[in-house]
Amino acid sequence: MEGREQFVKVLRDWMELFTNRSMSDFFLFVREQGLSMAQVGPLFHVNRKGVCGVSDVAEDLGVSNAAASQMLERLVQGGLVERREDPNDRRAKQIVLTDRAHAILHNISDARLRWLRALADELTIEEVELARKSVTMLIERTERLDRTQTEPVAPGVGTIPSKETAQQ
């Protein structure tokens, strides 16, 4: 196996391990909070947007306005979002996160990172520095690659090469 193919295989193995550990911790924390995945999606969307309307949530999640409104109503009842009057259109409502929702989203990130801290504790100082430099380089190259790609993969999620870019 060539060097680049070995590299891709190692990265694939790391991505699978990273994803499994990270998402397992994520799902566990979400369940411990009494939330469903259907509730977490709107929370992340509102967190990213800051303030938005029901139709924004519906569009982002690929559901009808009625379905988004029902999801958001459960979050309102759970004290995670508030509906406020839009100052520019009294008929419209703005959706905002409560302090409780902000705390949960912060703790979700902490829960996902907990195992990384444990992994870092298993490494020597030299291994930590080598890994830091390597991952930093991968981040920089990925960002450079993303700047050269033009078609979005999904709303808010990076890009893939256009046909023109891929053929060059």
- pLDDT for res 163: 41
Residue ranges of the chain assigned to CATH 1.10.10.10: 3-122
Total-model pTM = 0.67
Query: Which pair of tokens denotes residue 21?
Result: 């550990």
Q: Please, which pLDDT band fits residue 16 given cuts at 50, 70 and 90?
A: very high
CATH topology of domain 3-122: Arc Repressor Mutant, subunit A (1.10.10)
70-87 residue pLDDT tens: 999 999 999 999 999 888
